[in-house]
Structure 1
Amino acid sequence: MTSIFDQYEQASHLSQKPAPASEQMTSSGYINMQLEDNTPLFSKQRMNFNPSDLITHVAVASDYLVLAMGNGKLFRMDLKVPDQQEEIQYSKNVQPNSKLTSIFLDPLGQHLLLAFAARNKDGNPELVYLHRKSNKLKSVSKSRNYEVTEVGWNWENKSTTTTGPILLGTSQGHILEMELEAESDKMFTASQQYWRQIFDIGKGSDTPITGIQFHRVNKTSKYFIFVTTPTRLYQFIGHAMISDDKPSLQSIFHSYLTTPETGFQEIPSTLKYSKLQFYFDKSNNPKSFTWLTEPGIFYGQLDPTSQQNSNSLFTQSELINYPSHEGDGKETTPLSFVLTEFHALLMYSDRVKGISLLNQELVYEDRYNSEVHGKLKNIVKDPARNTIWAVTDKAVFRYKVNKEERNVWRIYSEKEQFDLAKLYCQNNPAYIDIINVKQADILFKKGDYEKSAAIFAETQSSFETICLKFLEIDQINALKVYLAKRLESLSDDDKTLISMIVIWMTELYLSQLASLRRLGKGDSQEYHQIQSDLEVFLLQPKVVQCMQHVKSIVYDLMSSYGDKQNLIKLTVINEDYENVVAQHIYKKSYQEALDMLQSLKKPDLFYQFAPVLMEETPKNTVNALISQGAKLSPSKLLPAFLSCENDAIHASEITRYLEFMMQNFNVKDKAIHNYLLTLYVETDKEALLRYLARQGQDVTMVNYDVHYALRLCREKGVPEACVTLSALLGLWEAALELALQVDISLAKTVSAMPDDVALQKRLWLGVAEHVITKNQDIKEAMNLLEECSLIKIEDILPFFSDVTTIDHFSEPICQSLEEYNNQIEELKLEMEDATKSAECVRSEIQSFRNRSALVSVTDVCCVCDIALLLRPFYLFPCSHRFHTDCLLAHAQPLLPPSRRNKLADLQRQLAVLSNIELSTVTSSGLPFREVLRNEIDDIIASECMLCGEHMISCIDRPFISDEDWDKVMKEWE
């Protein structure tokens, strides 16, 4: 239960709070609300133990607490195990005339140094070492002439048995380097490795050292050392000699022994003490430092890697004044303090105050009741755990830091350090909005309008208000920046606002470009930059998507500004080429329309505008069509061609295009060929005949409709083409009739075309009849007999009149009779050969009637080697013998599929049909059973399977198949 005194102390706590956030958010779009955490920045808790005497000194490190008490005892406790406490008498191990001045505990909480000073002239100062696991104190030799006032521990030391190289500061200003190591694992008594004086800050005068810190820079050999006296802060920077991962710090001071004192910060003070504190980041690197002096706290940021000033490690520093102190005013300087990331806790004899290092405001005050707890003796910080401990004469208190960074963002914002403010605002959107509004307002007042606009776009400020701010001062570029940023932040669902911004920004760009053109700056760098920005803007995905809905408005805008170039570019971006091409055609700029179509590579637009362009400029249009090649389909251009005027110019250009496509891309579309054929019929008969000749005489291979072509040629009176087309359709008589009307040589050509000899002879006879009956020209008739070997003199004699004398035909008649005589002789020879063959067949049949074969009881089947007479068998003239079932099994796989299926069907009928059905006599006079068996015999026993034609055809096959090879190999093994 909390005592009445503790309750009083809690009521006396003072935690300064900034103004509510709602008062500073009037310009943002967020709802006003309380955003601050009311929890005090620091909270205090008393430790639950009572020391045996008044506390004089305290040290804490790595959750290990050491107290020195007025009765000459040390109190030690592991804070993780608070029940394990011990007290050690230290006064027996030191001289009676010595007094304890300080205790120092290393960051690991393993090594403790106790510094003693002489009470009078007869005494000597002394330094005593105590290990955490030992109860025996060991005096450090060579320390009797030095009163140690400060210890600089080695922060990189991880050993529990050695301190590593450390620095000692004395009351005379000497800096000593030494290392202590435990001699025994059980006793842990100190062994002094070395002891040497490496520097004298006092230069012979007594200048007590009040603080020492040394650290290595980024794992290199470079070190920096901070040393403080009551009035000065010294910086030493240099490279240490490293051996066995242990630095020798003496080399760092070599360069300072012969140079004047320049690397120090001096602050006048009448105090005999000062304090030095470092703050470390999460990587255990020193980030900032504070030096407690009489006028105030000297605070600075550390950057050991900075190359700007090799003589100083400060990146920024300032002197922070102490807060006003209520009371008699005697105690204005703190007795001690500890440093956190953003605050310093100042300890006075009766209170603890917390001040902000950023704005120097008092944020916390905690008063102590001296009658209950005694006066405050010290306040320390555990360097490893970052816990804070305050010690009075009678009690120990622990301070907890509660989100000390909660208001840092506001302080940085007030100091106009906006990047840091955003870093510490914990990603709170309301805080970020406040920071952005303030930053944007400041930039706006400074005249940096574009940066201001970019930041305003990230706030929740009124859209209309911000736009008016820039319009009132005619800052169009800044307005564009603001609109562009807002456009980026909008979601796809905000279609109305997106459309408005896109239209507005487009108009702003067009207005600027038009103004520059009017001023004659159309080729200036500014003009090109704005044009480039417009093109980039139009290519943004969100703008491209919006343009699908507002393109008509934007087109009207561009047209009103006369910006033809951007209008064309926009149509390309939106793939809305139809609008520009139509505009060119409307202005009768046909060549520009064709150039646009060729550059866009959009075939559909060619099909759409080809009718108009073919009508107005056929030659240029055909040139453009030819340049597209196979990208365009001629069949889709047919409507454009058909809509043209039926004159020679248009027909010639269309024919040129169609001939180009056929010759280069092998177009086979029947409609195209029919249309080209129509153009040929109407304009160029010779080209028509050449076209028909190229297409060939195979009706299945031509690409035009033959019937349509024949009908068209008949209508237009092209008999030569009609002859070719009739022959192509197989209308030989009609083709011959037309050819005879045109030219006798054409008729002869038609007669020689058919493959059928009889038809060819009939056509030649028609030619002969035409020639003979027309003029009775016997010489021409004789020439026909020479040209065609199919017709004879006797075939054409009926065509001559009765009055024609035979003398003119004597030679052809004799030749014909001689040929008949030769044919008769050949027939006689063939009859004699047939008679001889018949006699041989009759003799062979007679010999087979008396032939027989003997089957012995010992004969076996050629397949299974079992006695042949045991089962039904087949006997072949070659003397091979097979059981019926063996032959069936062996021959069946060798049969073709059709005969194999037939055999299976016959076997099925024998097995399925009843005896009555099998005994039925067929039309051949045999029972149905015998008919089935005879058909089976015809299939499997038509020839011997060992010496028949099948065996001859299988001569190239191996004896052993691939499937049986493994089996045979095993048998041979």
Structure 2
Amino acid sequence: MTSIFDQYEQASQGSQRPKHVTEPMVSSGYINMQLEDNTPMFAKKKMMLNNLSDLITHAAVSNDYLVLAMANGNLFRLDLKRPDCGEEIQYSKFVQPNSKLTGIFLDPLGHHLLMAFSPRVKDGNPELIYLNQKSLKFKQVNKPKNVEVTEVGWNWENRSETSTGPILLGTSQGHLLESELDAESEKMFIASHQYWREIFHIGKGTDMPITGIQFHRVNNTNKYFIFITTPTRLYQFIGDTLMKDDKPSLQTIFHPYLTIPETGYQEIPSNLKYSKLQFFFDKNEAPKTFAWLTEPGIFYGQLDPSSQQNSNSLFTQGALISYPTGGEEKENAPLSFVLTEFHVLLMYSDRVKVVSLLSQELVFEDKYSEAHGKLKNIVRDTKKRTIWAITDKSVFRYKVVREERNLWIIYSDKEQFDLAKEYCYNNPAYIDIINVKQAELLFTKGEYEKSAEIFAETQKSFETICLKFLEVDETNALKVYLSNRLDTLKEDDKTLISMLVIWMTELYLSKLGLLRRTGKQDTEEYHQLQSNFEVFLLHPKVCKCMQHVKSVVYDLMASHGDKQNLIKLTIINEDYENVVAQYIYKKSYLEAIETLKTLKKPELFYQFAPVLMEECPKHTVTTLISQGSSLSASKLLPAFLSCRNDEAHVTEIIRYLEFILQHYNVKDKAIHNYLLTLYAEHDHDALTRYLARQGQNVVYVNYDVHYALRLCREKNLSEACVKLSALLGLWDSAVELALQVNIGLAKSIAAMPESEELQRQLWLNIAESVITKNQDMKEAMSFLEECQLIKIEDILPFFSDVVTIDHFRQPICQSLQENNNEINKMKAEMEEAMASAEYVRAEIQSFRNRSVSVLVSDVCCLCDIALLLRPFYLFPCGHKFHSDCLTAETLPILKPARRNKLTDLQRQLSVLSNIELSTITSNGLPLREILRNEIDDIVASECIFCGEYMINCIDKPFISDEDWDRVMKEWE
């Protein structure tokens, strides 16, 4: 159970943490987040080890395996995963009584333990004993005589629980030995001379105790690098090794260094008799950084053995971190230390101080009370990444919580902003503070555009930033800020987006206008600015915003006189009406026509056709023709009517109307009337052809005939008037007007009526006009030849009284002969009719005495049942049918009307009573007799075997599809 004193000490740790001092950073206030994490970065907890038999002198922790050496000569071992299973082993009986324990060394996995001893007397022999984790018995290591081991370099790739693999041992005289220990091989501990090889001597003969050894493989190659430290020097070695049974021979690394002077070391003067080397490993157990304890400070650097940029150094960014001053501790240099990723924990006799590797400032201090005793060691379990502090009486564990939390502040103070953001871990409040500081720094340096880009990512006041750039007249940087800020806005911020779009448009237009006014419109600067402006207009948010503020932007562009960009903007916004309007405003009619051609929007054609037809009729009509049926010709009429009535415009209008009528058979009367009007005014021959194509049937013509006739009369187009009058049926007027043109036209009109009487009358009118006028006998005779409807007697009244009959002798004789022929023909027809009537009367008389015999054996031709059993029909052809059989056979082949009538007659016979059927009708016959006669007329009108029905069904099969299956079964 934790004592009251321990509880008080743990609670007071928070108050002992020094605050990190830096200049204040203030965000804009839009992000409301807690900027500080109040959780202690380093918090210690005491382990409950109440069964320790004496004070602790040495300690080691690896892979959750704790080893403590105590003053009474016992060794305490504990698997931290099983805290109740600790054990003590006496080690003092395995060494000489006058030996002093100088160090214990535990491999990274906690399987192998080495304990080094030095003699208390001058002639004593240093000793080294080995203990395996699964053993209770120490083994004496028979190393070379008088060799005092001060440091062990373990093989980090070794996974064996019984063998250490190749290891390096450093001595107090600076000798470097290579060996391997195997708990299951006794000869390794007896015949030591075979397994101990001195491979190098640090200092070249000078006694220089080795205080630290680390060796590691470079990636997955056969190359290894080795770090060795003494109290004043840091040595570096690198080279290829010989691999035997997957074990390296480290001796080969030192072969190149045996013949060269010692130059590959870092020397720091120190009066300390001790030092310490620590490596920090990443999550893949690869060495990442190192630290070396010296008297002036901690020498720290980044390991980079693979790059070998500098052949004399295996590390980069080496720096000496001074020890914090001003404390109450007596000694300046720490007794030991532990390296983490971003801090070093310095152990003094009564406290632990934590210093940042980056800022070299004290970030935490933990004092230990006298009740716990003096601090003996501080170690880091590299495998489990835990930190342990050991005093005389207690063991404490440090929990490290987010030690990188303040790195963003440190990197920000160092102006390493990218690294600062990396360690913000996407905390928006921190990132905003860093961005503001970076942007302010760039602004101070005059890098305004870069500053604007970063300012746009912050939540700093929009107005404040804009004023900063306006005060220094940096409109380009202001545009960058506004553009980037626009990218960060959400679509819901419609008001702010609209303001930014309008403002940026004004900035672009002002700059472009300034360049144009100074004659720089052909410079690269102008073209680049214009390109940037076009890119800005294509921005998705700008395009969407333009739907709401386009009228404002249009006015803005118009006020700058920038017609080119105004047209581009209208195209981007698909505001095609304004696109065409701007082209027309610029008098770029061909561009306007091309735009209309590509848009495929008929309503815009109707809107702008009047102006385009007026200014550019040929190209306009060509475009209208290319649109084909997508345009309505009737909707284009206002544009045609508004044009000047000159030859160029009329010709193009006629060309379009003729195309429409020829290819799309337009029936619109307004179109035809307008075309007819143009023909009447400008092209009489075309009018004649048009009227001929329309034909002489008033029902099928597409123009207004009355309007056409009135128009032609106004224009004195006599021939057209003749055709139109004939079309209206005004034959007398047509012939009368045609006679004024020419006699041939009058004759063609007279031949048009279908009525022969009307034709005869029209021909008489022509003859009267011609004969009365000319009294020409030959011409009169030609009339008689052309028209068979006129006789000589019809035209005689048109001649004057002075003309004698001798001139008409031949026509008169011919006329009399024709009349005589007609009389003879009529006599022959009358005699033929009388003979036919006599034959018919004879036939009727013969039928009155005709009879047919029916035998008892006769059967119905349909059902093959005796005929006399039921009422029957007998046809002159000899076929006999029962009345019901014939009715059933006839009913399906009757037309619907006769079938319905037959059904109705049968229904009346079956429904009416005998009294009603016996009623005498107006014909003098009973109703029953009349109904039967009508049924007979329908059913027995013809024999179904000899009449038309048999002829009509000649192409029908004898067996229908419905009866086929039944017939097949009958045949089977």
> Same fold, TM exceeding 0.5?
yes
What is the distance in 1 between the residues matched to 2:902 and 2:419?
Answer: 97
For 1:266, the equivalent position in structure 2 comes to 267
Cα deviation 1:776-827 (Å, max 9, x = unaligned)? 5776677677767xx4676x76455495735236668868988998999999
What is the distance in 2 between the residues matched to 1:124 and 1:558?
Answer: 95
CA shift, 1:444, in A, is 1.7
What is the distance in 2 between the residues matched to 1:957 and 1:91?
Answer: 127
For 1:488, the equivalent position in structure 2 comes to 487
Matches within 5 A, 1:678-717: 678-696=677-695, 703-706=702-705, 708-717=707-716
Question: Contact 1:510 / 1:558 at 8 angstroms: preserved in 2?
Answer: yes
SS of the residue aligned with 1:346? strand
CA shift, 1:393, in A, is 2.6
Change (3 A) 1:774 1:856: closer
For 2:810, the equivalent position in structure 1 comes to 807
Give the letter for the 2:763 counterpart.
A
Match for residue 955 of structure 1 among 950, 954, 957 = 957
Give the letter for the 1:389 counterpart.
W
SS of the residue aligned with 1:323? coil
For 2:801, the equivalent position in structure 1 comes to none
For 1:595, the equivalent position in structure 2 comes to 591
Question: Contact 1:169 / 1:211 at 8 angstroms: preserved in 2?
Answer: no
Question: Contact 2:132 / 2:183 at 8 angstroms: preserved in 1?
Answer: no
What is the distance in 2 between the residues matched to 1:928 and 1:310?
Answer: 138
CA shift, 1:362, in A, is 0.9
Question: Contact 1:918 / 1:928 at 8 angstroms: preserved in 2?
Answer: no
Change (3 A) 1:662 1:298: farther
What is the distance in 1 between the residues matched to 2:710 and 2:673?
Answer: 12
* Same amino acid, percent of matched pairs: 56
What is the distance in 2 between the residues matched to 1:67 and 1:822?
Answer: 159
SS of the residue aligned with 1:805? helix
CA shift, 1:476, in A, is 2.5
For 1:320, the equivalent position in structure 2 comes to 321
What is the distance in 1 between the residues matched to 2:277 and 2:894?
Answer: 110
What is the distance in 2 between the residues matched to 1:139 and 1:968?
Answer: 117
For 2:760, the equivalent position in structure 1 comes to 765
Question: Contact 1:110 / 1:160 at 8 angstroms: preserved in 2?
Answer: no
What is the distance in 2 between the residues matched to 1:816 and 1:240?
Answer: 147
Matches within 5 A, 1:890-929: 925-926=927-928
Give the letter for the 1:595 counterpart.
E
Question: Contact 2:596 / 2:604 at 8 angstroms: preserved in 1?
Answer: no
What is the distance in 2 between the residues matched to 1:162 and 1:837?
Answer: 146
CA shift, 1:60, in A, is 3.4
For 1:349, the equivalent position in structure 2 comes to 349
SS of the residue aligned with 2:688? helix
Cα deviation 1:824-854 (Å, max 9, x = unaligned)? 9999999999999999999999999435684
What is the distance in 2 between the residues matched to 1:99 and 1:85?
Answer: 24
SS of the residue aligned with 1:542? helix
Structure 1 stretch displaced more, 405-414 or 166-175: 166-175
Give the letter for the 1:276 counterpart.
L
Structure 1 stretch displaced more, 476-485 or 236-245: 236-245
Question: Contact 1:387 / 1:400 at 8 angstroms: preserved in 2?
Answer: yes
Are 1:79 and 2:75 matched, yes or no?
no
What is the distance in 2 between the residues matched to 1:848 and 1:304?
Answer: 140
SS of the residue aligned with 2:479? helix
Relative to the length of structure 2, the TM-score reads 0.78
For 2:19, the equivalent position in structure 1 comes to 17
For 1:850, the equivalent position in structure 2 comes to 853
Question: Contact 1:713 / 1:722 at 8 angstroms: preserved in 2?
Answer: yes
Give the letter for the 1:268 counterpart.
P
Change (3 A) 1:356 1:817: farther
**CA RMSD in angstroms, aligned pairs only:** 5.7
Are 1:385 and 2:399 matched, yes or no?
no
Change (3 A) 1:811 1:276: farther
SS of the residue aligned with 2:588? helix
Question: Contact 1:148 / 1:168 at 8 angstroms: preserved in 2?
Answer: no
For 1:525, the equivalent position in structure 2 comes to 524
Change (3 A) 1:687 1:726: same
Gaps of 5+ in 1: none
Are 1:470 and 2:469 matched, yes or no?
yes
Matches within 5 A, 1:461-860: 461-547=460-546, 551=550, 554-555=553-554, 557-559=556-558, 561-574=560-573, 591-593=587-589, 595-596=591-592, 598-599=594-595, 604=603, 606-612=605-611, 614=613, 633-646=632-645, 650-659=649-658, 661-662=660-661, 669-696=668-695, 703-706=702-705, 708-725=707-724, 739=738, 742-750=741-749, 759=754, 761-762=756-757, 764-775=759-770, 791=788, 798-801=794-797, 805=808, 807-808=810-811, 849-850=852-853, 854=857
Relative to the length of structure 1, the TM-score reads 0.78
Question: Contact 2:583 / 2:592 at 8 angstroms: preserved in 1?
Answer: no
Change (3 A) 1:723 1:399: farther
Question: Contact 2:902 / 2:938 at 8 angstroms: preserved in 1?
Answer: no
What is the distance in 2 between the residues matched to 1:936 and 1:141?
Answer: 143
Change (3 A) 1:235 1:942: farther
Question: Contact 1:726 / 1:735 at 8 angstroms: preserved in 2?
Answer: yes
CA shift, 1:399, in A, is 1.1
Matches within 5 A, 1:431-446: 431-446=430-445
SS of the residue aligned with 1:16? coil
Give the letter for the 2:358 counterpart.
L
Give the letter for the 2:448 counterpart.
Y
Give the letter for the 1:472 counterpart.
E
SS of the residue aligned with 2:48? coil
For 2:132, the equivalent position in structure 1 comes to 130
Are 1:290 and 2:291 matched, yes or no?
yes
Question: Contact 2:388 / 2:397 at 8 angstroms: preserved in 1?
Answer: yes
For 1:55, the equivalent position in structure 2 comes to 56
Larger radius of gyration, structure 1 or 2? 2
What is the distance in 2 between the residues matched to 1:919 and 1:47?
Answer: 131
Give the letter for the 2:638 counterpart.
P
Give the letter for the 1:380 counterpart.
V
Question: Contact 2:898 / 2:938 at 8 angstroms: preserved in 1?
Answer: no
Change (3 A) 1:458 1:844: farther
Question: Contact 2:291 / 2:301 at 8 angstroms: preserved in 1?
Answer: yes
Change (3 A) 1:611 1:224: same
SS of the residue aligned with 1:953? coil
Question: Contact 1:41 / 1:401 at 8 angstroms: preserved in 2?
Answer: yes
Change (3 A) 1:886 1:810: closer
CA shift, 1:356, in A, is 1.0
Give the letter for the 1:693 counterpart.
A
Change (3 A) 1:883 1:279: farther
What is the distance in 2 between the residues matched to 1:307 and 1:901?
Answer: 115
Matches within 5 A, 1:81-96: 81-88=82-89
How many pairs align? 936
Give the letter for the 1:533 counterpart.
N
Give the letter for the 1:168 counterpart.
L
Change (3 A) 1:784 1:248: farther
Give the letter for the 2:520 counterpart.
K
What is the distance in 2 between the residues matched to 1:324 and 1:955?
Answer: 125
SS of the residue aligned with 2:376? strand
Give the letter for the 1:402 counterpart.
V
Give the letter for the 2:853 counterpart.
N
Question: Contact 2:338 / 2:378 at 8 angstroms: preserved in 1?
Answer: yes
CA shift, 1:663, in A, is 5.3
Are 1:200 and 2:196 matched, yes or no?
no
Cα deviation 1:732-786 (Å, max 9, x = unaligned)? 77766655554443455456667xxxx2645643453244333457766776777
CA shift, 1:49, in A, is 2.8
Change (3 A) 1:767 1:887: closer
Give the letter for the 1:769 counterpart.
L
Change (3 A) 1:226 1:728: farther
Change (3 A) 1:846 1:761: same
What is the distance in 1 between the residues matched to 2:762 and 2:703?
Answer: 30
For 1:423, the equivalent position in structure 2 comes to 422
Give the letter for the 1:111 counterpart.
H
Change (3 A) 1:952 1:555: closer
Change (3 A) 1:228 1:861: farther
For 2:336, the equivalent position in structure 1 comes to 336
What is the distance in 2 between the residues matched to 1:938 and 1:144?
Answer: 151
What is the distance in 1 between the residues matched to 2:841 and 2:262?
Answer: 146
CA shift, 1:413, in A, is 0.9
What is the distance in 1 between the residues matched to 2:223 and 2:701?
Answer: 94
